[in-house]
Amino acid sequence: MKHPKPDAPDTTRRNLLGLPLVGCLPLGGVSSLASGYTDDGATGPAPRATPAKADGPAPVRLALLIGNRAYPPPFDLPPVHKNVRDLRAVLEKRGFKVTSVVDQDPGNLRRAITQFAQQCQNAPADASVMFYYTGHGMQVEAENLLLGAGVNPSANEPVLLNGSLHFKRDVIDVLPKRPNGLTMTVIDACRTNLRAALQAGDGFNQVEAPVGCLIAFSTGAGKPAISPSVETANTFYTASLVKVLNTASDDITFSDMFRLVKTDVQNTMLNHPIAGIRQMAQFPFIAENVRTKIRLSLLASAQGAPVKFSSQDESALWQQIEASGWPVDLIKLSDDYLKRFPNSTLAGSAQVAREGADDAAKAMRRNDVRLFKSAFFPKAETGNPVWAEIRKAARGDKDAAARIARIYLRGEGVDRDTNRYEGWMQYAAALGNGIASYELAVYYRNLDQPVMAAQFETRARELAYTPPPTLDHNRK
């Protein structure tokens, strides 16, 4: 499908959708320049956080929500304030202390992030932290940018670079590393370069998450997001995020929750009655490197406590699912669990495991993946570092697959094995990891294997990964 160029207002798409919608491409709209920054929520009242139960204090949870609606006409984004208001309300119900910042320039946004980072630094090591941004976003020179309020998205590169938050430099690198906790960064923004044609695949770049971090984007690399042109509706992604946070079981993890959001966004848009929305369906992107399973439960003692199952049979079957590291087995076990225990508090997690395993099984069937079943059952060496990652990779985690590959390439706790490196990288690329695909292309290029190098460089481009200029000087 060809898309209109994103450097001019797109009235065609609005007519196509037949609803008051705008894309995160430059579309019609009226800008209202409002500003606000408050720990109490500049965007309106919210319910008080649910108190912790008597057997333990609530876990520490902190959130910074940034919403930029106010851009020069016709780039206004009407749903932004409602996004911030509604997400703040549900996060407070989940025990988060929330700071809201709306319609601010990059300088004020950086100060807000620095203050928030200091709060996070002072929090316990196992605290949960969320950074959320909704507004315009794009890529310039392989950098993911989050535009400050008032910046014209069609401006030249120097204006954009100076008028934006740089996602890695100003967000990821500023927030404290929490290997034993959880840092969630959620970007509900247009991921399209507003100065280039969409058919060129030039959009927000793929990223990898540091240890303890989960990164969620509202749509895939190089893809546009669409949103209502009215103030009374949320964007599709934030609507699903609020919905799932409100309805999900306390027993599921935040990791599984974000995958349920991804599925809900896809299902909502793919099954929408309006053909234009189905055509522009978003497929959210997740990058994760989390070592600790943190549940939605507010009860601190529940974080390490076993789930209360309805029967020993349910408990035993769930333990099999948890231990499974082979996609085909995981599909069967998850199907069995959902059939026998459809009302379980872990039904959502079983659904996530099943869908991820299905993606993994499809990747294993690709002709360009030379990875065999034995790779999912490594030698029983004490402390083998790939075991935990294999369980994630069997659930379709593209980033875990790449980490396994690098462990084998470097021989970290395992025998160095370049065949395993290639196989796991091919598998990661098949799951959608453009960074892994490009890294593998460079690896083959250095081995003087131009055919394989070209194959995986092409795959990286298909996945909308743009390497930084410093890594790209040898591209052909």
What integer pLDDT is reported at residue 276 of this predicted model? 86
Residue with tokens 């990058």: 287
What integer pLDDT is reported at residue 35 of this predicted model? 38
Reported as type and span, the H/E element at residue 188 is strand 182-189
What integer pLDDT is reported at residue 221 of this predicted model? 84
* Separation between Cα atoms, residue 278 and residue 268, nearest integer Å: 9
What integer pLDDT is reported at residue 362 of this predicted model? 98
What integer pLDDT is reported at residue 89 of this predicted model? 99
Structural domains of the chain in order of their starting residue, each with its CATH number: 11-289 (3.40.50.1460), 306-364 (no CATH), 375-471 (1.25.40)
pTM flag (> 0.85): yes
Backbone CA torsion sign across 391, 392, 393, 396: positive
Ranges of the chain with pLDDT below 70: 1-56, 190-203, 300-304, 380-383, 470-476
**CA–CA distance from 85 to each of 30, 92, 94, 367, 427 (Å)?**
20, 11, 15, 47, 40
* Separation between Cα atoms, residue 313 and residue 318, nearest integer Å: 9
- Do 41 and 98 contact (CB within 8 A), yes or no? yes
What integer pLDDT is reported at residue 55 of this predicted model? 54
CA geometry: angle at 137 spanning 132 and 142, to 5°? 110
Tokens representing residue 260 in the block: 């349920």
- Do 400 and 436 contact (CB within 8 A), yes or no? no
Counting Cβ atoms within 10 Å, is residue 450 exposed (0-12), middle (13-18) or buried (19+)? Answer: exposed
- Our separate counts of H helices and E strands in the chain read 15, 12
